[in-house]
Structure 1
Amino acid sequence: MAESVQWVIQRLRQRASTSPLLVMGPNAHLVTLANKNAKFRAALASADLNVPDGISVVLASRLLGLPIPERVPGGELMECLCEECGRFGLSVFFLGGLSDAAAGAAEQLKRRYPSLRIAGCYCPAHGFENDPSELAAIRQLIAEARPDLLCVAFGAPKQEIWMQENCPTLPIGAAISVGAALDTYAGLRKRAPRWTHRVGMEWLYRLIREPRRLWRRYLIGNLQFVILLAGQLAQQVLISLAKASSSIYDYSPKKQILNWKCSNEKVE
């Protein structure tokens, strides 16, 4: 967490000489969405920093031999960034969430960090992504505010796609996808206890509280994630076997046939 915060703040303080930074937080649900949605997959790939907002991603990285040190929850990252923004005199704009969530979250964070500069708050109407005039209004608000940090809470995959399509040409230092964090900080959704974050069970807590809304995401989505992971692991095993057998087998990409080497003779 600390390394991510430090890196983003450093970039914000150098915003005059850098392009807008995109920070996203994939979890198991987002990985399965990206596997089905090419546009969303491209949006995640466009991020300058992808932090693991889910224990499943951390565990999967270890199984795949590319270990990620820790989980970085989007809401906690947002709060840490707001704290540091207040410390360095940087401004923050809150965009999205439920009705009044942006303003409510801004008020709560300002109360915790009095030196935090609020550049603006806005919650667009439902279906704004299909309304050219509303999209233009959002861009205009942000262009006038010129925030250092833009917190985007449209929900996935909407927020990531919007960030990819809009943020590179907006006068901002960085944009971070925060999902339901604005709703939580505004008090419109109950926040999961911190112990659930530590043990990686926040998803279960949320599922118990909102089963009708989240059962498909966590039960079916997590199963799909496990299947994707199993496929990646199987692929790694097959590649390892192929490499280990390179002295025996010769793979011909053109002929797509397997030649067996024995006593310096090839038998097809």
Structure 2
Amino acid sequence: MKFFDFKLTVKLPTVFPQKRLIANTINPHSYCVAMNDAQFQEALRSSDILVPDGVGVVWASSFLYKRRISKISGFDLHFHFLQLLQKKSGGKVFYLGSSETALSLIIDRVNKEFPSLNVKTYSPPFKSDFSKKENEAMIRAVNEFEPDLLFVGMTAPKQEKWVFQNKENLKVKVVCSIGAVFDFYAGTIKRPSQFWINLGLEWFPRFLKEPKRLWRRNLISTPKFIFEVIRHKLTL
């Protein structure tokens, strides 16, 4: 797998899509995971929209190809599509993932910020793999609502692979896998301030708060990603 094999999206649509669209994000950690996970790699490659959610990806684009791009976070993706749906004179949005507590807070916030949108949620079991019955219940919950917009928050690569495996059975126009954005938007986990985001160091305060959960992506995946980018540069 090579970095240039991923076709990045640097400009998001300006109107809400009328045909099915799958949007995902990529950062240095997900890139490294995809190197050893064929299905995750395929899920990312098949994305209609794949945004650079990480300063490492932004740097790699500049370092390898002298192409200047901007970071587009999962949080940006979430807000952008909510705005597009709101401008469309309203619609239906479904949140699949996270806890009932977080989902309840999300409903409250969407109702305040995007009053023309109809919101529904579903909290799947917290486990690495779903049974056939659990998977069918998730798909049924989404399809009975027939949302315009589906957000999936089950952490990577689980969420991207779930969407990839089930997209043909989902009655929805736009699907976005956005992971931790559920907790950020709900307020159950505080997103780093704009100061850190502007510096390109959003990862740093998150790592300090949750070192046990994030040590692998910051201390293993990031150096590995840098090594892979430099190695690829030498072959160009």
User: Normalized against structure 1, the TM-score is what?
Assistant: 0.80
Counterpart residue number, 2:46: 46
- The verdict on how the C-alpha distance between 1:64 and 1:70 changes in structure 2, with shifts beyond 3 A counting, is same
CA separation in 1, counterparts of 2:77 and 2:146? 21
Residue identity opposite 1:211 in structure 2? P
Counterpart residue number, 2:169: 169
1:153-192 alignment, distance < 5 Å: 153-192=153-192
- The verdict on how the C-alpha distance between 1:203 and 1:38 changes in structure 2, with shifts beyond 3 A counting, is same
Tell me if the contact between 1:98 and 1:183 (Cα under 8 Å) persists in the aligned partners: no
SS across alignment from 2:150: strand
CA separation in 1, counterparts of 2:123 and 2:104? 9
Counterpart residue number, 2:98: 97
Counterpart residue number, 1:135: 135
CA separation in 1, counterparts of 2:63 and 2:171? 40
> Do residues 225 (structure 1) and 225 (structure 2) align?
yes
Residue identity opposite 2:225 in structure 1? F
What is the RMSD of the two structures over their aligned residues, measured on CA atoms?
A: 1.7
After superposition, the C-alpha distances for 1:105-127 in whole angstroms (9 at most, x for unaligned) are 22212212222221x10110112
Deviation at 1:84, TM superposition (A): 2.4
1:189-268 alignment, distance < 5 Å: 189-236=189-236
CA separation in 2, counterparts of 1:82 and 1:165? 25
Tell me if the contact between 2:91 and 2:116 (Cα under 8 Å) persists in the aligned partners: no
Tell me if the contact between 1:23 and 1:174 (Cα under 8 Å) persists in the aligned partners: yes
Counterpart residue number, 1:29: 29
Tell me if the contact between 1:95 and 1:121 (Cα under 8 Å) persists in the aligned partners: yes
Counterpart residue number, 2:16: 10
Deviation at 1:128, TM superposition (A): 6.7
CA separation in 2, counterparts of 1:220 and 1:230? 16
Runs (5+) with no aligned partner, structure 1: 237-268
Tell me which structure has the larger Cα radius of gyration: 1
Residue identity opposite 1:46 in structure 2? S
CA separation in 1, counterparts of 2:233 and 2:63? 8
User: Normalized against structure 2, the TM-score is what?
Assistant: 0.90
Aligned residue pairs, count:
227
SS across alignment from 2:65: coil
- The verdict on how the C-alpha distance between 1:131 and 1:66 changes in structure 2, with shifts beyond 3 A counting, is farther
Counterpart residue number, 2:116: 115
CA separation in 2, counterparts of 1:202 and 1:85? 28
Tell me if the contact between 2:184 and 2:190 (Cα under 8 Å) persists in the aligned partners: yes
Higher relative CO (Cα under 8 Å, sequence separation at least 6) belongs to: 2
CA separation in 2, counterparts of 1:152 and 1:199? 28
SS across alignment from 2:26: coil
Runs of 4+ in 1 over 4 A off after TM superposition: none
CA separation in 2, counterparts of 1:132 and 1:29? 29
Deviation at 1:87, TM superposition (A): 2.3
Tell me if the contact between 1:32 and 1:224 (Cα under 8 Å) persists in the aligned partners: yes
Tell me if the contact between 1:103 and 1:122 (Cα under 8 Å) persists in the aligned partners: no
Runs (5+) with no aligned partner, structure 2: 1-8
Tell me if the contact between 2:10 and 2:51 (Cα under 8 Å) persists in the aligned partners: no
CA separation in 1, counterparts of 2:105 and 2:68? 33
Counterpart residue number, 2:69: 69
- The verdict on how the C-alpha distance between 1:139 and 1:146 changes in structure 2, with shifts beyond 3 A counting, is same
Residue identity opposite 1:216 in structure 2? R
> Do residues 124 (structure 1) and 120 (structure 2) align?
no
Deviation at 1:66, TM superposition (A): 6.0
Deviation at 1:131, TM superposition (A): 1.2
Tell me if the contact between 2:16 and 2:85 (Cα under 8 Å) persists in the aligned partners: no
CA separation in 1, counterparts of 2:77 and 2:118? 17
